[in-house]
Amino acid sequence: MSMPFYVSPEQLMKDRADYARKGISRGRSVVVVEYDGGIVFVAENPSRALHKISEIYDRIAFAAVGKYNEFENLRVAGVRYADLRGYSYDRVDVTARALSNAYAQTLGTVFTTEPKPLEVEIVVAEVGVASENDQIYRLTYDGSVAEERGYVVMGGTVEQPHQVLSEGWRPGMSLAEALTLAVRALSVDAGGGQPRELSPDVLEVAVLDRKRPRRAFRRLAAPLLNRLLATDDPTKDVPPADDSRPGMHETLTGEEGGTTAGTEAGGGSGSEPGEGHEGLPEEEPH
Amino acid sequence: MSFDFQGRLPAAFMTAGSSSFTEFLGRYSPDLLPGRRQLPEGTVPATPHGTTIVALTFPGGVVMAGDRRATMGNYIANREIEKVFPADEYSCVGIAGSAGLAVEMVRLFQVELEHYEKIEGTLLSLDGKANRLSMMIRGNLGLAMQGLAVVPLFAGYDLDRGEGRIFSYDVTGGRYEEHGHHSVGSGSLFARGALKKLYRPTHDVQDAVRVAVEALYDAADDDSATGGPDVTRRIWPVVAAVTDEGYHRWEDERIGQVVEQVLADRQGDPGGALRRGLGAEGNRGDNAERRPKGTECTEGTEAQR
């Protein structure tokens, strides 16, 4: 007759936390930064189809690191939750706070009751009518929630990017400034070496733009992204109008007159880096 | 099942596979689906009914218009109801029939399309959208048999084909593509007659809007349930155009100008035939008079602009 092994709850939780942390730290980081006109999300992600940053609802977006299948599942659940709530009550009653609570409960329950915790870390952000109403919630694998101000880093390397952001971030930055800072934070080398060179085509960038009337979420692609990152370009914010090309308007490329017809789903695919410097820059607000 | 819960997200939220909001609702909270409700025994009391919707294509898009009246038996239940809605950026839906259910179905349809867009990251094809709507109407068949039928008219800009298209439905969810123009609701017979006479495949959006307003005027002229232009309150039909630039609802001010033009042209000529160059002979249906009339009509409408 064998005795079952006794494992103390402390040890059990610690093992699970270590397991989840290890899984998360394997991935690349994601940075979320507030700027004067909204919230910008930047991830190092060469894939154009498997997103780490997504729209949840009109003013709410989602960013995640960790195991793709697990956070994708959470994203879909979040969209269902938001759409159900908006359909049952009203669109304005869908809030990032309520969604974060639902996520936190889910992550927490999975962490304590299921054999394997979810190897994810997520950010749920909502853009408000003014920057003091912006909300950024960061949720970890064990279900803990933190409301963040200004900026968040999550994923593989956190400390060095966090340091870059804490030194460089200030309220009221323009999109171009916030984006440049975020990219600088992401390109820090974890080993303390030279900063890596991150070209725009390995970046997944999206914004929640406060000025857009209903759905505030837009992805940014070349050449607009190149213009925002270029130091010698006057572009400081996203254009108020969507791309004129017929089709889905989730992605802003800043191109004129539908020159990229047929790139409906991926948006901006096939754009060469550097082509953003052709033509005249648009007049931008600010 | 409740749509407001405490604790972790229920299993239905985490199930992978479906990108349809309606299917998700059917699994998680079927009582929220308009068609799934059980009606008690007995007859349904009078409820507001929406009346006439017209739609017609023009090169580069489609125009949809609806009058503003809802009736309940012989009463006017509402004189400024809106019955033409954007379904998503490239399509619109107009409703006739039981107004309460129809508006709910449109809301669900809007969420359905946006939900698909967010989950899949791409737009549904126009045929795909038309089929989703078909499925929703089919789900409402039980209520339709109790007298609560919903008969929408769906129209949109087909991004793949580069043209406007119109779909009509029956209560069993049957879906029929209409070419050129169509109309649904109690005044649709009269509107359809007007559309048939006034429709030109080559007219531009301005002319198409004018034809839609004329068709609604003719419907209101002969159908008591269709509301004509309300000049004293300045309530005009809802008119929307869908092109490759997306859904665009015409502002009241612009519609007001079109309506006033139609009313002015019909002074002393209620059928509008004289203005179109259809003289006394034309009204008798004289075939010999047909050909020159068509050309005069086009000139006439252009002169008005």
pLDDT grade, residue B178 (50/70/90)?
A: very high
Sign of CA dihedral B262, B265, B267, B269: negative
Q: What is the pLDDT of residues B282-293, one digit of tens each?
A: 344 444 444 444
A residues 208..247 contacting B (CB < 8 A) = 244, 246-247
Report the chain A residue with the minimal C-alpha distance to residue B25.
A84
Question: Tokens 């129809």 identify what position?
Answer: B102
Which pLDDT does position B140 carry in this prediction? Answer: 87
Nearest to B108 among A80, A87, A264 (CB): A87
Mean pLDDT of chain B: 87
| Closest-CA distance of chain A to residue B21, Å | 7
CB contact under 8 A, B24 and A79: no
Q: Tell me whether B16 touches chain A (CB under 8 Å).
A: yes
Sequence-distant (≥ 6) Cβ neighbours of residue B267 within 8 angstroms: none
Give kind and range of the element (H or E) at residue A225: helix A224-229
Question: Which one of B6, B8, B107, B245 would you mutate to disrupt binding with A, by most A Cβ within 10 Å of its Cβ?
Answer: B8
Nearest to B118 among A55, A105, A244 (CB): A55
Q: What is the pLDDT of residues A198-253, one digit of tens each?
A: 888 899 999 999 999 999 999 999 889 999 998 888 888 999 989 888 888 889 99
What average pLDDT does this structure show over B9-32? 89
A residues 171..200 contacting B (CB < 8 A) = none
Active site residue B51: yes
Q: Tell me whether B1 touches chain A (CB under 8 Å).
A: no
Confidence check: pLDDT of A16 > 50: yes
CB contact under 8 A, B7 and A246: no
Sign of CA dihedral B289, B294, B299, B302: positive
Confidence check: pLDDT of B3 > 70: no
Report the chain A residue with the minimal C-alpha distance to residue B109.
A87
Which pLDDT does position A29 carry in this prediction? Answer: 92
CB contact under 8 A, B21 and A80: yes
pLDDT grade, residue A194 (50/70/90)?
A: confident
Q: What is the CATH number of domain A27-230?
A: 3.60.20.10
Confidence check: pLDDT of A278 > 90: no
List B22, B43, B51, B122, catalytic entry: B51
Confidence check: pLDDT of A267 > 70: no
Report the chain A residue with the minimal C-alpha distance to residue B2.
A88
CB contact under 8 A, A85 and B159: no
pLDDT grade, residue B5 (50/70/90)?
A: low
Which pLDDT does position B73 carry in this prediction? Answer: 87
Q: What is the pLDDT of residues B70-99, one digit of tens each?
A: 999 889 999 999 999 999 999 999 999 899
Among the residue ranges A76-80, A188-192, A201-205, B21-25, the one predicted with the least confidence is A188-192
Q: Tell me whether A110 touches chain B (CB under 8 Å).
A: yes
Report the chain B residue with the minimal C-alpha distance to residue A78.
B13
Cis preceding linkage at A223, omega within 30: yes
Per DSSP, A243 falls in state: P
What percent of chain A shows pLDDT beyond 70? 88
Which pLDDT does position B292 carry in this prediction? Answer: 42
pLDDT grade, residue B305 (50/70/90)?
A: very low
| Closest-CA distance of chain B to residue A102, Å | 6
For the question of an ipTM over 0.90, the answer is no
* Tokens at A18, concatenated: 């270590």
Query: What are the Cα distances from residue A94, in Å, to A57, A118, B72, B236?
Result: 8, 25, 34, 33
* Tokens at B197, concatenated: 């006479």
DSSP secondary structure, A46-69, as one string? --SSS-SEEEEETTEEEEEEE-HH
* d(C-alpha A264, C-alpha A248), whole Å: 6
Q: Which residues of A touch B123 (CB under 8 A)?
A: 247-248, 264
What average pLDDT does this structure show over B12-16? 87
CB contact under 8 A, B122 and A109: no
Other beta carbons within 10 Å of A41 = 26
Which pLDDT does position B277 carry in this prediction? Answer: 60
| Closest-CA distance of chain B to residue A88, Å | 7
What average pLDDT does this structure show over B163-175? 95
Q: Tell me whether B245 touches chain A (CB under 8 Å).
A: yes
Size of interface A-B (CB pairs under 8 A): 81
| Closest-CA distance of chain A to residue B88, Å | 11
CB contact under 8 A, B245 and A102: no
CB contact under 8 A, B16 and A51: no
Q: What is the pLDDT of residues A134-169, one digit of tens each?
A: 999 999 999 999 999 999 999 888 889 999 999 999
Confidence check: pLDDT of B274 > 90: no
Which pLDDT does position B76 carry in this prediction? Answer: 92
| Closest-CA distance of chain A to residue B281, Å | 48
Single out the residue of B105, B111, B100 nearest to residue B169, CA to CA: B105
Q: What is the pLDDT of residues B48-61, one digit of tens each?
A: 898 899 999 999 99
Ramachandran region, residue B112 (left: φ > 0; alpha: ψ -120 to 50; beta: rest): alpha
